Amino acid sequence: MSRFSAITDNPHGNRFNQKTGILLTNLGSPDAPTPSALRRYLREFLSDPRIVEIPRILWMIILHGIILRVRPAKSAKTYASIWTEQGSPLIQITKEQTAKLNEKLQREGLGHAKVVMAMRYGNPSIEHGLETLRAEGITRIIVLPLYPQYSSATTGSTFDAIAKVLSKWRWVPELHFLNGYHDSPEYIDSLAASVKEDLEKHGTPQKLVFSYHGTPKLFLERGDPYYCFCMKTTRLVKEKLGLSDELVETTFQSRFGKAEWLKPYTDATLRAFPSNGIKDVAILSPAFSADCLETLEELEEENRHYFIESGGEHYRYIPALNTRDDHIDAMFSLLKPLL
């Protein structure tokens, strides 16, 4: 062995006997439901140029002069409403997904691959996840961002963070970056199964709403394919289950600021339903691979209130795919060709 082998980044292993690391990523969460933790989290999140595409100097003045002075306290209250003894639901669910995916790899005889979780914002960070893999002598890395429908603001931003960390490494390992799976047959099967189970248990509502996280309309106009991918996911599930066009509605939630976002808006749609005689709805959010603030607080609580207050009578939320076995199988199907 060369006397320099021990101090280089390259593990000098056999190229055909490589160790594979899988980085399972999601958006992230503050460390605690407190104003100070939210301020740190929002500073990182809202400083990302993929998230806010307005002139940088102007945005930094608005962010630090107004938003980070006001929003953390308000956001802390909403996070506190969903916080559990284990902490952030998103973080806990992603931990469980990671553990189940590692178990699946072992059962399939793919123990040479190891799954580590990381968050685009907050902890555990992208850098921490990559450094964990490097410390274990990983020679190949597969990145699986858990955003089924690609968007520059989510998947694109994750790639930026990966590239930023790897730009500091002397030896860059073989890298595979999976940029979406909105029409993956296994993902569609899992999503359809979750809907079918709900309909069989609770009956068919007057409207089944597919509510996706929104993005500014400007993103679509500049070429982001997210809107089209969302519409395709809805169509594939609808076709899989033989649902009628009249039953299914696609909407977009979680808008921020005064700019126009993708329409129709979820909250406005739910408010308008009762006046049109629609008083029984079921809602799901296929863009989220794990339940989080936007589903547990925004959909289950806030939007339920809008619907009932407007005259609605029956409202139910169909949970994200979370740790369902068929969801883990869907993740595995995306990774298997690369293992």
Show binding-site residues for Fe(2+): 213, 294
* Cβ neighbourhood burial of 30 (10 Å; 0-12, 13-18, 19+): buried
> Helix, strand, coil shares of the chain as percentages rounded to 5?
50, 15, 35
Would residue 126 be called left, alpha or beta, if left means φ above 0 and alpha means ψ between -120 and 50 degrees?
A: alpha
Q: What are phi and psi of 94, to 5 degrees?
A: -65, -35
- C-alpha span between 135 and 153 (Å, rounded): 29
Q: How far is CA 169 from CA 3, 8, 127, 166, 175, in A?
A: 21, 10, 11, 5, 13
Annotated binding site: which residue ranges? Answer: 213, 294
Kindly report whether the peptide bond that precedes residue 72 is cis, defined as omega within 30 degrees of 0. Answer: no
- C-alpha span between 30 and 42 (Å, rounded): 8
Angle at 155 between CA 169 and CA 71, to 5 degrees: 100
Kindly report whether the peptide bond that precedes residue 124 is cis, defined as omega within 30 degrees of 0. Answer: yes
- C-alpha span between 18 and 94 (Å, rounded): 26
Chain-centroid distance, C-alpha 93: 12
Q: Which residues contact 68 (CB under 8 A, 6 or more apart)?
A: 39, 42, 43, 46
The type of residue at 117 is M
- C-alpha span between 50 and 139 (Å, rounded): 29
Residue with tokens 């429908």: 149
Q: What are phi and psi of 121, to 5 degrees?
A: -125, 140
Secondary structure class of 317 (helix, strand, coil): strand
